[in-house]
Amino acid sequence: MKAALYKAGIWLARITPLKVADRFAMIMGRLACSLNKTGRSYIRANLEHIFAHDDMPVCDLNKYVLRTFQNYTRMLIDFFRLGFMPADELIKSVEPVGIENCLAALTHKRGSVLITMHLGNWDYAGAYLAARQIPMSALVEEIEPGMYELYTQHRERTGMQTYPLARSAYAFLDVMKKNRVLAILADRDIAKNGITVTVFNGKRKIPRNLGSIIARKKLPVVFGHLVFNPAGKKQRYCGCVEPPVIFNSEDEFNAALVRKMEEFLKDHPDQWFVFQPEWVE
């Protein structure tokens, strides 16, 4: 069923003009927000932590919840479009900020790691960098088999090389050998064995051993994200990559990851698409 809906989404994205698709996404996002009580509660919890010290009125918080659902449906449409979007159109749709930092990280000749989050459109980001001739790889979540194959085909069509999380050790060795960029979404503990850290005023888990591998192998790290631009901007997205950093310990990396999570999420609270209950009570 999911695979059929996925294929239908690609077909609709192919035949529907983007402006029309955006209006449809706004309607569907509002409907999903209204009907998905559980998902709405998770997004609200995320936002309550982000705005914990802002004394935000409930009505304003609810607006952020709605915008998160609407941005998510817009993001899905763009994900569907990646399979047939020409590279030049993809490049023109992004306002680049510091993209050259990806190449700077590769001058060390031992690969690098791009740390991002479930923020904005992470698949679009990988496709954009690949279109810019940056050798991109990514660790991806292993979802149900039928959908995993569809997602893999869709992602690799854009020029990215993907590895399932179960092959993460091989992924690190491969990108070091081939001097590629390995993109990792590090704001969630997919493996369910993570390290508990304080983010804003709450507790979350981040991936265990990620910082240890990065520090031990002296892999250059760049933090980045790709988010929707405000309405009226020429480019649909803004893609930001920060200068490369080499970390000396797992603790040093984890502290930097938490700082970047708080910074990025505070700047773009309605583009954090985590619909799971991952705050540690």
User: What are the domain boundaries of the chain?
Assistant: 2-271
| Both structure tokens of 158 | 């854009």
Q: Which amino acid is at 126?
A: G
**pTM to 2 decimal places:** 0.94
For residue 145, name the pLDDT band (cuts at 50, 70, 90): low
Question: What 3-state DSSP class applies to 3?
Answer: helix
- How much is the average pLDDT of 55-73? 96
Render pLDDT for 215-235 as a digit per residue (tens, 0 to 9). Answer: 999 999 999 999 999 988 999
Identify residue 32 by its one-letter amino acid code. A
Regarding beta strands 161-164 and 136-140, do their DSSP bridges make them parallel or antiparallel, or are they unpaired?
Answer: parallel
Instruction: Compute φ and ψ for 201, nearest 5 degrees.
Output: -110, 20
pLDDT tens digits along 101-121: 999 999 999 999 999 999 999
Per residue in 220-278, pLDDT (tens digit) is 999 999 999 998 899 999 999 999 999 999 999 999 999 999 999 999 999 999 999 99
pLDDT on residue 17: 94
Q: What is the pLDDT of residue 147?
A: 67
Q: How many CB atoms lie within 10 A of CB 66?
A: 18
- Report which of 160, 64, 59, 171 is spatially closest to residue 113, judged by C-alpha positions: 171
Give the integer Cα–Cα distance in Å for 214 and 121.
Answer: 24
Higher pLDDT, 214 or 153: 214
